[in-house]
């Protein structure tokens, strides 16, 4: 029905205007585009920036673009996709000297952009009805472009990359403060993706690297030697993991006795192995596994995996359209679905030979020797962690549903929360106390998500309740990814944690803390240079 109305409406409008008018309009649009482009090419000069931010924040205040774009039927996304495709066709058309067609595309791009910004300003999502004409007209042009063979995969990829990199440059200033930051935080940056791909190529091309790794097999004894210091990191981010290993090695008084156990996924397995075989980190031993090889990690044993097979759970995660209205977007982040993220509850099973490990998140930087952690007396507890309730509200009631009798009956709402990211785990106690069983118990009772919503901290708080030993806060300094941390606290900290959205490897990373992370990255490495990581 909507379709019809749109078309009927379009025709009379078209007839009313003469060709001359359209040409004038195209001319105007091209002028505007030239002005806009020439502005954007200028390096972000001081006076221009506030202006742009103002314009942008206007849009951001008006409409939750983030929310809207992620919807499965988002018209905004449809329009934006069309626009970005059309932009590459404009460039191709110009290169082919088809200026007339480039004009038509540009005009239609402008038209769609106006619709988008109008919707943003009036604080309501686009409807199918109002954008129908624009989408159809654009579709026709895109179809023509295909007839002209402008859509050959190679030329589009090339041009799209060019355009995107231009756009990224102009948007990076505003991203920091806006809700677009959330989207940016969820995306794997293209440069990191490139890095992984190049490393994979390197891995399969170079038998040298593979041989090096085989020679390293002599170290298998080290991997289970409980006189050494064992660290584990579960991550799909090679660069971040490299910083964790590199900074730990640098701060260690005796790197030869440090062993890193990395677990990643299928996709990042070869490149991660390649990276750690190509580089040496002061004699630190590094083992890489992928969780797909852990066959016991299956739906019949792991409640989280079982629940993921359930279609209702999948709906909850993917549609975001659940009963209580809006799910905060951060909870729809696919990372909450990731087995890598839940692997922290299976550490004794991943490393059956080990007695004690220090668990590190991949968004940390180590700046002190961590070996004293292994001799701290945990008083028979399983988990040594830094507490987070010093300020005010990081207590159990913040994370768990205390209206539920199972929670109310078993936990103190004012118990102090603690943080994952740098934890000492006593695996002997863990096995003895059947902590994984406790975790399964709570996970199974949360099928309907009434105990807690999502994430690993709430089940962690339940699982390690009464089994957690508080560590001196200087061991684990939190908040570098979202808040201000006093410089004397940072200076004294052993492990700095970039928890929050502003990860140091993203454009939206906080400028003032980024150098703490950057200094452990070898930006002159040819692979990093090829992928434009800087």
Largest CA distance in the chain: 85
State both tokens at 489: 């606290």
The angle formed by the CA atoms of residues 251, 468 and 516, to the nearest 5 degrees, is 25
Residue 403 binds ligand NAG, judged by CB under 6 A:
yes
Decide: helix, strand or coil at residue 110: helix
Q: Given the rule CB under 6 A, which of 166-174, 218-226, 229-237, 513-521 is the region that contacts ligand NAG? A: 513-521
- Cα 455–chain centre separation: 14
Residue 152 binds ligand NAG, judged by CB under 6 A:
no
Site string for ligand NAG, 469-508 (x = CB under 6 A): ----------------------------------------
**Closer of 105 and 262 to ligand NAG (Cβ):** 262
* Nearest approach, Cβ of residue 34 and ligand NAG (Å): 35
DSSP state of 289: E
Residue 336 binds ligand NAG, judged by CB under 6 A:
no
**Closer of 247 and 388 to ligand NAG (Cβ):** 247
Site string for ligand NAG, 383-402 (x = CB under 6 A): ------------------x-
Residue 279 binds ligand NAG, judged by CB under 6 A:
yes
Beta-strand relationship, 495-497 and 364-366: antiparallel
**Closer of 182 and 423 to ligand NAG (Cβ):** 182
Q: Given the rule CB under 6 A, which of 366-374, 419-427, 435-443, 470-478 is the region that contacts ligand NAG? A: 435-443
**Closer of 155 and 333 to ligand NAG (Cβ):** 333
**Cβ atoms of residues 159 and 88 within 8 Å:** yes
- Residue 367 contacts by C-beta under 8 Å, 6 or more apart in sequence? 247, 251, 493, 494, 495, 496, 516
**Closer of 101 and 513 to ligand NAG (Cβ):** 513
Site string for ligand NAG, 293-322 (x = CB under 6 A): --xx-x-xx---------------------
Site string for ligand NAG, 5-44 (x = CB under 6 A): ----------------------------------------
**Cβ atoms of residues 421 and 497 within 8 Å:** yes
How far is 246 from 182, CA to CA, in rounded Å? 28
Residue nearest to ligand NAG (CB): 437
CA atoms 506, 507, 508, 512: torsion sign: positive
Beta-strand relationship, 422-426 and 356-360: antiparallel
- Count of residues for the chain? 534
**Closer of 356 and 453 to ligand NAG (Cβ):** 453
- Which of 87, 273, 290, 440 forms a contact with ligand NAG (CB under 6 A)? 440
Residue 456 binds ligand NAG, judged by CB under 6 A:
no
- Sheet architecture: strand order including 364-366: 364-366, 495-497, 476-477
- Which of 78, 88, 235, 246 forms a contact with ligand NAG (CB under 6 A)? 246
Residue 254 binds ligand NAG, judged by CB under 6 A:
no
Residue 94 binds ligand NAG, judged by CB under 6 A:
no
Residue 328 binds ligand NAG, judged by CB under 6 A:
yes
Beta-strand relationship, 468-470 and 383-385: parallel
If we measure between CA atoms, which residue out of 353, 340, 334 comes closest to residue 294?
A: 340
- Which of 323, 409, 437, 515 forms a contact with ligand NAG (CB under 6 A)? 437
How far is 179 from 196, CA to CA, in rounded Å? 28
Residue 520 binds ligand NAG, judged by CB under 6 A:
yes
How far is 232 from 495, CA to CA, in rounded Å? 14
State both tokens at 308: 């993921």
Beta-strand relationship, 364-366 and 258-264: unpaired
State both tokens at 205: 């091309």
* Nearest approach, Cβ of residue 427 and ligand NAG (Å): 14
In which residue are the tokens 């409640």 written?
Answer: 303
Residue 181: CB atoms within 10 Å: 19
How many residues at the interface with ligand NAG, by CB under 6 A? 26
* Nearest approach, Cβ of residue 108 and ligand NAG (Å): 29
**Cβ atoms of residues 424 and 356 within 8 Å:** yes
Site string for ligand NAG, 55-74 (x = CB under 6 A): ---------x--x-------
Terminal alpha carbon distance of the chain: 51
* Nearest approach, Cβ of residue 205 and ligand NAG (Å): 20
* Nearest approach, Cβ of residue 403 and ligand NAG (Å): 4
Residues near ligand NAG, by CB under 6 A? 64, 67, 242, 246, 250, 279, 295-296, 298, 300-301, 326, 328-329, 401, 403-404, 434, 437, 440-441, 450, 519-522
């Amino acid at each position: 029905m909507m379709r019809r109305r749109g078309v009927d409406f379009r025709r009379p409008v078209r007839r009313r205007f003469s060709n001359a008018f359209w040409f004038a309009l195209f001319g105007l649009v091209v002028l505007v585009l030239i002005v806009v482009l020439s502005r954007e090419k200028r390096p972000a000069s001081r006076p221009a920036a506030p202006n742009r931010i103002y314009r942008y924040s206007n849009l951001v205040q008006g409409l939750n673009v983030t929310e809207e774009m992620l919807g499965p039927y988002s018209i905004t996304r449809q329009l934006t996709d069309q626009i970005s495709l059309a932009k590459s066709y404009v460039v191709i058309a110009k290169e082919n000297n088809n200026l007339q067609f480039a004009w038509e595309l540009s005009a239609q791009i402008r038209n769609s952009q106006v619709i988008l910004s109008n919707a943003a300003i009036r604080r309501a999502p686009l409807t199918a009805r109002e954008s129908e004409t624009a989408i159809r007209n654009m579709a026709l042009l895109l179809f023509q472009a295909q007839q002209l063979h402008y859509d050959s995969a190679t030329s589009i990829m090339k041009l799209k990359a060019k355009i995107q990199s231009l756009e990224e440059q102009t948007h990076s200033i505003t991203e920091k403060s806006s809700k677009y930051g959330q989207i940016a935080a969820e995306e794997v940056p293209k440069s990191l993706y490139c890095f992984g791909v190049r490393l994979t190529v390197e891995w399969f091309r170079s038998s040298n690297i593979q041989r090096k790794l085989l020679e390293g097999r002599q170290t298998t004894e080290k991997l289970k030697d409980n006189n050494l210091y064992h660290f584990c990191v579960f991550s799909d981010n090679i660069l971040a993991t490299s910083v964790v290993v590199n900074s730990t090695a640098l701060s260690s008084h005796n790197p030869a006795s440090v062993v890193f156990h990395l677990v990643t996924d299928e996709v990042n397995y070869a490149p991660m192995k390649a990276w750690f075989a190509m580089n040496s980190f002061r004699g630190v031993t590094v083992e890489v596994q992928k969780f797909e090889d852990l066959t016991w990690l299956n739906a019949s044993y792991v409640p989280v995996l079982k629940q993921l097979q359930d279609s209702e759970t999948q709906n909850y995660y993917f549609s975001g359209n659940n009963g209580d209205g809006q799910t905060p977007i951060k909870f729809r982040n696919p990372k909450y679905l990731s087995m890598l993220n839940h692997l922290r509850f299976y550490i004794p099973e991943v490393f059956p030979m080990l007695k004690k490990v220090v668990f590190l998140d991949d968004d940390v930087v180590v700046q002190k020797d961590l070996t004293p952690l292994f001799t701290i007396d945990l008083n028979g507890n399983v988990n040594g962690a830094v507490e987070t309730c010093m300020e005010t509200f990081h207590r159990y009631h913040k994370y768990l549903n205390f209206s539920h009798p199972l929670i109310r009956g078993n936990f103190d709402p004012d118990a102090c929360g603690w943080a994952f990211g740098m934890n000492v785990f006593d695996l002997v106690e863990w096995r003895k106390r059947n902590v994984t069983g406790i975790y399964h118990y709570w996970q199974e009772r949360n099928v309907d998500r009434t105990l807690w919503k999502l994430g690993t901290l709430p089940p962690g708080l339940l699982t390690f309740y009464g089994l957690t030993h508080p560590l001196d806060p200087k061991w684990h300094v939190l908040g570098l990814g979202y808040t201000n941390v006093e410089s004397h606290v940072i200076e004294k900290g052993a492990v700095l944690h970039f928890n929050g959205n502003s990860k140091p490897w993203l454009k939206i990373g906080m400028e003032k803390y980024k150098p703490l992370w950057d200094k452990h990255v070898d930006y002159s490495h040819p692979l990093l240079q090829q992928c434009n990581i800087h």
